[in-house]
Chains A and B, each alone.
Chain A
Amino acid sequence: MRKIYDFLEQDTRAAGATRVLISTAFILIIWQLVSLVVTNRLLLVPPLEVATALVREFQQGAMATNAWATVTAVVSSFIVSVMIGVAIGLALASSRFLSLTGGPVLSALNSVPIIALAPLFVAWLGLGFASKFVLVLLVAVFPVVVTTEAGLRATDKPLIEAAQSFNASRWQIFTTVTFPYALPFIVSGVRVAWARALVGIVVAEFFGSFAGFGFAIMSASQTFDTARVLGYVILLGAMGLIGSVAFAALERRLAPWRLE
């Protein structure tokens, strides 16, 4: 037992993969057991049936159509929201006036559940790409704004003082001290933004689209096709997980000193 723990605690790829495998297997077993008890297939279907439904969707080409619609909208909007978020964060951190006047407005907007405005966006921008793009942008931009500003403001004073003592210009202090210091903060904001973007895209697709994972989940649930609903939910979960793992790895790479 001791040896197993020693192995699992390691910071290696093999150990990490084993941890994921074990927890996945655990969930699958519980799921299988629960579906033996809950026999109403409208409520719950066992893992294997979900897998079969996914394979069928893949073979019929529906999955590719939906994936294309969702991924293009969410990725393009996500990239734009990160760029806008960093830009706004920079502006807030570099101008006291902006942070005093714009900061409260932004935090008020941040606490509004923008997702609830989805039907309105569909009414304004129509069914399809535009409404999805704007909704994802609005939900994903805030975490990036907040962490960019916080990261830029968090820079250790002694680091700035040392740069000043070498006669660094304001621009040099930004490029060699404050921005590198803020980068891991920004990436952590980006990680949150990705999770929010996925929620945004699904809700946007619930209300206004003819393709996409959200649309597929909606239409499958209207025909009580629980296997297909769960299949697409799992696909969305995988997208979230991949993003989260990738950005966490990037964060560690950018700031190894914060771990020790």
Chain B
Amino acid sequence: MKPHLQIRAVDKTFNRAGKASVEALRGIDLSIAEGEFVSIVGASGSGKSTLLRIIDGLLAPTAGSVLVDGQLVRRPGADRAMVFQQDSLLPWKTVTENVGYGLTLAHKPKEEVARIAQRFVDLTGLRGFEGHYPHQLSGGMRQRVNVARALAVDPRILLLDEPFAALDAQTREIMQTELLSIWQSTRKTVLLITHQIDEAVFLSDRVVVFSARPGQVREEVTVDLPRPRTLALKREPAFVALVDHIWKLIEAEVRAGVEQGA
């Protein structure tokens, strides 16, 4: 398969005035095929979120390049959309208005924005909440809006930055299965950042394991578990073995991070 998203030798160093510079990423090479679901896991401080922001075009790499279908990424574009971890919904806009936000910014006509927003409201199970404001929704519902807002601009690549990290365990599992079914119906290329190893294995075709400080690719783990997947998969020995394997790769760094109080 030809690479759809290509990350070539990306380095990122943050230079802060008056402080020591921080090397966040070193020599990242990754190729992702069209329609593939890839996750990146790693201890905190492995620069996962930084890489996602570079791919989205919010940050420029210090060296190296990001290509989408051979085109160099310089800034955010319509072919990529990001789902953020934190609450990044506009509190003074309703669910429908938030879902249509990206389209409104792109100067799409009002009727079209409303029509498309409604489609993704329905797809993400938000029907009946169209007129609600974010503060009236639960955390899970807010992340649905977040996902719907990214999907509404019809990106080819969906970038998810720990989208379910703030949710409780039960809601997170529901959201994982919903993300899977959305992915299966829309066939987007997905790159997910997470610190939940079981989430990464459950969702992905491939899990990229990062090491920390600076972030580097330690290993790429192919997940050849059958699809469609249900939550029952999480109890299969093959699934548990993969989670265990990845955990062993990052365990030492996670422990070091805990001891440093990070």
Contacts and interface: CB of A to CB of B under 8 A. Distances in A.
A167 B133 contact: no
B122 interface: no
Given A177-B90, A180-B92, A257-B133, A166 B84 contact: no
A175 to B, nearest CB: 10
Give the size range of A's interface with the partner: 20 to 34
A165 B56 CA distance: 7
B91 A158 contact: no
A257 B89 CA distance: 12
B88 A158 contact: yes
A159 B88 contact: yes
B135 A165 contact: no
B51 interface: no
Contact of A158 (B56, B78, B84, B134): B84
Contacts of A255: 91-92
Given A257-B134, A257-B135, A165 B82 contact: yes
A260 interface: yes
B231 interface: no
A164 interface: yes
A166 B103 CA distance: 9
Contact of B75 (A162, A163, A167): A167
Interface of B: 56-58, 75-78, 81-82, 84, 86-92, 101-102, 104-106, 133-135, 153
Given A156-B87, A167-B78, A254-B92, 20 more contacts: A156-B88, A161-B58, A161-B84, A162-B88, A164-B76, A165-B56, A165-B58, A165-B84, A166-B102, A166-B153, A167-B75, A167-B105, A167-B106, A168-B105, A180-B90, A255-B91, A255-B92, A257-B92, A257-B133, A257-B135
